[in-house]
């Protein structure tokens, strides 16, 4: 709060303006309690309260919000306005990719700690290094933050890497007091027929029913080139698929659903081989939180928020500036 004596309250008598200003100064700048102000000025405490309210109404007292260093409210509001986001969180971090992932992980953990209020049904992408960073930094909630956490994509892969996907789900569920649901299948299979046989299994049908009722999704945003975690899991696209996606102008993916620079889904046979939530069902989830950053992912992040794949973004300050100041649609890649 700041108290301004000059130029305020022109429609109020000089004597009353002086009293209002004096009361405001004593309360806001000297820290004197209302009861003590009343005694000192020989007026009632009720009148002190009314005078303080009047001080705000006529501009003698103004509320000023001072942004803490490292908080980028203007950038966040600009992103929300430009892209129609529910919320943007901009992290004051730079450096190499590992440092950016760590910074976004800390911000993502803080965001979940402050917004999970119980009753949520959360879907989570299993093959994201950024989400692993979030969960590694998340503190146990004092009250239950969600009822259930469900994998959005098959979490079966190479043994050592699958352990990370399982830990991502199980540890998150433990920290927020939720029950975990695993997708006991690879995220990507060789043929549409294999996927169909998996999807029609009774266990997978049960998971699909849970996907229909999710209230929140936590996802990473990938580029066309797979991350080391996804590549090592055995669930990454092969070079031939990658070439086809580049030829179709793909720039990134969410849960192995690839899209172009406008956020439009790339239609290819790859979609018929993904064992995961359908894009149409995914986009009905009310809060879809994307956590990603770094220069390598600028085009993918822009496309993901433009196309409505995510409606909450947690990213680094350099990426936020790029989303606001670079051309809205990145240059499309060309096939080699």
pLDDT in tens, 297-326: 999 999 999 999 999 999 999 999 999 997
Half-sphere exposure of 253 (CA within 13 A, CB side): 25
Percent of the chain with pLDDT over 70: 88
Distance, in Å, from the CA atom of 132 to the CA atom of 209, rounded to the nearest integer, reads: 25
**In whole angstroms, what is the distance from residue 96 CA to residue 117 CA?**
34
pLDDT over 90 at 224, yes or no:
no
pLDDT tens-digit series, residues 21-43: 999 999 999 999 999 999 989 89
Across residues 236-259, what is the average pLDDT?
Answer: 91
How many other CB atoms sit within 10 Å of the CB of residue 84? 11
Strand-pair category, 250-254 with 257-260: antiparallel
User: What is the CATH architecture of 73-326?
Assistant: 3-Layer(aba) Sandwich (3.40)
- Every domain of the chain with CATH number 1.10.10.60 lies at 17-58
Where residue 127 falls among pLDDT bands split at 50, 70, 90?
Answer: confident
CATH topology (fold) of 17-58? Arc Repressor Mutant, subunit A (1.10.10)
Q: What is the pLDDT of residue 202?
A: 93
Residue reference for tokens 């730079």: 94
Q: What is the mean pLDDT of the chain?
A: 88
Interatomic CA distance for residues 192 and 100, integer angstroms = 37
Using one digit for the tens of pLDDT, what is the confidence trace for 69-82?
Answer: 667 889 999 999 99
* Region(s) of the chain under CATH 3.40.50.1360: 73-326
CA distance 222 to 300: 7
Helix residue ranges per DSSP H, the chain: 14-24, 34-41, 45-57, 73-83, 97-115, 129-137, 159-176, 192-199, 202-211, 228-233, 239-247, 279-282, 298-306, 317-325
Provide the sign of the torsion angle of the four alpha carbons 314, 214, 304, 137, taken in this order. Answer: positive
pLDDT score of 335? 37
95, 120 in Cβ contact below 8 A?
A: no
């Amino acid at each position: 709060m700041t108290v301004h004596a000059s130029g305020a309250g022109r429609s109020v008598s000089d004597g009353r303006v002086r009293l209002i200003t004096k009361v405001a100064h004593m309360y806001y700048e000297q820290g004197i309690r209302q009861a003590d102000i009343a005694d000192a000025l020989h007026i009632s405490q009720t009148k002190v309260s009314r005078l303080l309210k009047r001080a705000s109404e006529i501009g003698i007292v103004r509320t000023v919000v001072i942004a803490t260093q490292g908080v980028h409210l203007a950038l966040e509001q600009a992103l929300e306005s430009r892209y129609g986001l529910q919320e943007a969180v901009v992290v004051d971090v730079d450096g190499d990719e590992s440092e950016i992932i760590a910074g976004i992980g800390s911000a993502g953990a803080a965001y979940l700690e402050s917004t999970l209020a119980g009753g949520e049904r959360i879907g989570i992408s299993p093959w994201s290094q950024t989400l692993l960073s979030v969960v590694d930094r998340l503190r146990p909630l004092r009250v239950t933050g969600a009822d259930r956490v469900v994998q959005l994509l098959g979490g079966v892969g190479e043994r050592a890497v699958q352990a990370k996907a399982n830990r991502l789900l199980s540890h998150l569920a433990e920290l927020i007091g939720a029950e975990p649901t695993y997708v006991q299948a690879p995220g990507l299979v060789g043929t549409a027929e294999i996927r169909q046989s998996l999807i029609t299994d009774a266990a997978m049908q049960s998971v699909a029913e849970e996907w229909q009722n999710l209230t929140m999704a936590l996802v990473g945003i990938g580029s066309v080139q797979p991350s080391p975690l996804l590549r090592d899991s055995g669930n990454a696209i092969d070079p031939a698929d990658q070439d086809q996606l580049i030829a179709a102008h793909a720039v990134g993916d969410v849960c192995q659903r690839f899209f172009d620079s406008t956020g439009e889904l790339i239609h290819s046979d790859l979609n018929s081989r993904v064992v995961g939530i359908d894009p149409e069902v995914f986009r009905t989830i009310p809060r879809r939180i994307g956590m990603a950053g770094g220069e390598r992912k600028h085009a993918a992040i822009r496309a993901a928020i433009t196309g409505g794949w995510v409606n909450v973004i947690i990213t680094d300050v350099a990426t936020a500036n790029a989303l606001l100041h670079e051309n809205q649609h990145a240059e499309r890649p060309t096939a080699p």
